[in-house]
Structure 1
Amino acid sequence: MSFTKKISILILFAFLINACASYKLQYLDVEVQENIFPDKEVDKVFYLVGDAGLSPMHGMSQGLTAFRDYISDKNTEGDYTLFLGDNIYPAGLPEPNHRYRTAAENMLNPQVKAVADFKGRSIFIPGNHEWYVGGGVTGVRREEQYIKKALDENSFFPEDGCPLKTIDVSETIHRIIIDTRWHLENWDHHPTINENCVIKTRERLMWELENEIKNAQGKTIVFTMHHPMCTNANHGGQFALEKHLFPIQKKIPMPGLASLAVQIRAQGRVSIQDRYNELYNDLMNRLEKLVTENGDIVFVSSHEHNCNTLTTVISNRLFLEQDQKPLLSI
């Protein structure tokens, strides 16, 4: 068999075994295929905004505009808005004199404006794009200071480029915020990454998380982090048919090679941003072990340019009923 035929068969095989993404909603339980609003007290409302760091110059993206308009007539006192990372595209917040500084600020400002009249608390967390700017963790700290100046001192967590922040939201809700990129990052490239942090190792982070979960027994724990534990989209190895033709954003058709690239990426061999990359997979497996036997836990994430809420259902708005406890609205 000729070399060309072997390559052709390999490409065809990769195309056939690689599943395409489904645009239908995915449900574990068919009984939760629609939102049900019980006649019960709502303890807290969380608005989730993910990957919102791309707006036109001097304008506001359609998503942020829709969010701002939606909350405009709501009583938001005591509520939370969570910006789930990737708050600036393409590469975080550079230094003040950098030529892309104005463009980067333009990506942040519409998010700040969207919550200008919000009566509750607005909190930003870092994603992976915050780390792309020169300096890595320095860029994360730079964005933190910008957001705090625009809003308030409690608007960006975790602080100082550290990995963890916990907040007692109410008597029934405890929130754990993790900078998942901190765990995935190659620390050799960032020698000052942990200089201001109590937690200086990945093992210490897991120990702290275990203690936080135990101390919050009886409460609903909301894990807030950029990278999702589960995903049925590109970072989870599920790709639309067009990715088998256009592997890069420039839309240059590469049939065959595109399918091979998709198959390699689906195995997590290309980027730490993909769910089955070794580092990413290790982090999520360890988190899963920590939470498996510990009460009511919700994960909220973005990363896939959507908002990911994980209990037994994935949706953008979720009500959780827990025996006689008040409801948590997300």
Structure 2
Amino acid sequence: MSLTATLSLLPYLFLAAGAVLALWLLMRFWQERQYRRRPYVAPSRNDWHQHFPAPTATLLHRVALLGDPGAVATDGTDPILQLLASWQQSTGPAGTVVILGDNVYPVGLPAPDSPARSAAEKRLTALLDAVGNFPGRVVLLSGNHDWNKGRPDGYEYLLRQEAYVAEHLPTALYLPQGGVPGPVTLPLADGVLLVVLNTQWWVQQGARPAADPKEPFRQLHQILEANRHQRVLVAGHHPLYSNAMHGGKFTAKQHVFPLTTVHKRAYVPLPLIGSLLPLYRKVVGAAEDMAHPRYRKMRRRLLRVLHQFPNVIYAAGHDHNLQYFERHGGHYLVSGAGSKTAFVQKGGTATFVHEHKGFFSVDFYDNGEVWLRTLEPASHQENSEVFRQRLVPGPVIAPPLVAPSIVKKPLLPA
């Protein structure tokens, strides 16, 4: 075929490709309409509502995992904070609230002279007030937004926020202290251990505390090996499995209106060209995406350790939805729906997903069982479960717990 003839066919080829893409997007849009904002449970777990903890088991400790609460309402009407208050009341001192990062949107806590400081303080204060009277423990992690969305000056933002929390809620633990990568260990109860990682350290640009990037994974392996017979919960901001945007999953609408991934109201139609942005974020990745080289390396190293220890629970936020995966004998949670929601694709390797505000509660019992409960504020009641599952069957024989390894660093003035 001559070059002229080939060139003459190009418009038809582009037209055919556009038609195929349009048909695919229409099918995707129709499929998404069938399940969006509805809880998805894998078929093998559809009988979840028939299963409960053993009636003879006594609750030993309970952990609320609340991620990305940085845009909570500050007028006392926030449904998530009301749900958390109900959880605290029913839990009492035998509990821990773990805030999984992105505590202040959009860019953490700005400098005192910044025009954005007042709004940021209100949001952070509302969050701290919500846990201020809780008789149990309160642990806060940092996320990419707390580090000024990962920008080079993000370390200053992190230290300001840590100092603000220390001043306004001195009983809380901001871990790991000083922005180091960790891991930090914190015993919660007999046979229950919390391990905290600062996953943002591996993807952060600019200044950050100096550390060997491989050493935290060696330390984590040592901690998990020494506590193999304990029930271990590892917390970090970034998920290791995700059916949502940071895992490369996008809606049909985002292919046509790609700028809505940046701002929900940016309805600028860019058909065909718009599909390049989801493709880029799935294959190359922005700094906060799993596909990005720094994130991908951190995730690979972390999974290499966690896959060696069955029944370890890893909890994260970052994606604004609720997800649960059971992989290689471990349990992986995404609990980032503390103040926003975003698309999450059903199916795949996920056991449960839901595009809805809420948080996970992990309940540890004296017979060794560990149960996951998904709580959502539909009725503003603590018992508004939409999914539960036993994660660890027990029994667990617990040796002495490891000592906490909290690193102290100087803080910038708030």
Alignment pair present for 1:62 and 2:79? yes
5+ residue gaps in structure 2?
1-6, 326-330, 333-350, 354-359, 362-371, 373-389, 398-414
Which structure features the higher share of strand residues? 2
Which residue number corresponds to residue 30 of structure 1? 44
Q: Measure how far apart 1:98 and its partner are.
A: 1.6
Residue of structure 2 in register with 1:286 after alignment? 301
Paired residue for 2:315, among 278, 296, 300? 300
In the other structure, the counterpart of 1:84 is 100
* TM-fit CA distance, 1:252: 2.1
Counterpart CA distance in 2 for 1:109 and 1:60 is 14
Specify the code of the residue in structure 2 equivalent to 1:156. Y
Alignment of 1:310-321 (within 5 A): 310=325, 311=331, 313-314=351-352, 316-317=360-361, 318=372, 319-321=390-392
What one-letter code is carried by the residue in structure 1 that aligns with 2:122?
A: N
Contact 2:181 2:198 (8 Å CA) reproduced: yes
| Counterpart residue number, 1:205 | 216
Letter in 2 for 1:118: F
Distance change (3 Å), C-alpha of 1:41 and 1:243: same
Conserved? CA contact 1:243–1:258, under 8 Å:
yes
Bigger-Rg structure (1/2): 2
- 1:44 shift after superposition: 1.3
Hey, what's the Cα distance between the residues in 1 that align with 2:289 and 2:16?
26
Partner in structure 1 of residue 160 of structure 2: 142
Q: Which residue of 2 aligns with 1:227?
A: 238
Is 1:179 equivalent to 2:198 in the alignment? yes
Shift of 1:42: 2.3
- Corresponding residue SS for 1:239: coil
1:273 and 1:8 map into 2 onto residues whose CA distance is 35
Report matched runs for 1:183-262 at 5 Å. 183-186=202-205, 189-190=206-207, 193-194=208-209, 200-248=211-259, 249=263, 250-262=266-278
Give the conservation status (yes or no) of the 8 Å contact 1:301–1:307: no
One-letter amino acid of the structure 1 residue matched with residue 162 of structure 2? E
The answer (yes or no) to whether the contact 1:162–1:182 under 8 Å persists in 2 is yes
Match of 1:324 in 2: 395
SS in 2 for 1:210: helix
**Is the 1:300–1:308 contact (alpha carbons within 8 Å) kept by the matching residues of 2?**
no
- Aligned-residue sequence identity (percent) comes to 22
Contact kept? 1:218, 1:295, Cα under 8 Å: no
The CA RMSD over aligned residues, in Å, is 2.8
Residue 11 of structure 1 deviates from its aligned partner by: 5.7
Pairwise CA distance, 1:66: 3.2
Distance 1:205 1:41 in 2: 35
Q: Distance in 2 between matches of 1:275 and 1:285?
A: 10
- Whole-angstrom CA distance in 2 between matches of 1:19 and 1:290: 36
1:122 aligns with 2:138: yes
Checking the alignment, whether the CA contact within 8 Å between 1:173 and 1:221 is kept in structure 2 is yes
Q: Does 1:272 align with 2:291?
A: no
* TM-score, length basis structure 2: 0.69
Deviations 1:5-62 (A, max 9, x none): 5555566666749977664545567136525321222221111111110134555533
What's the CA shift for 1:75? 3.7
Secondary structure of the structure 2 residue equivalent to 1:137: helix
Q: Aligned partners of 2:59 and 2:28: how far apart in 1?
A: 40
TM-score, length-scaled by structure 1? 0.85
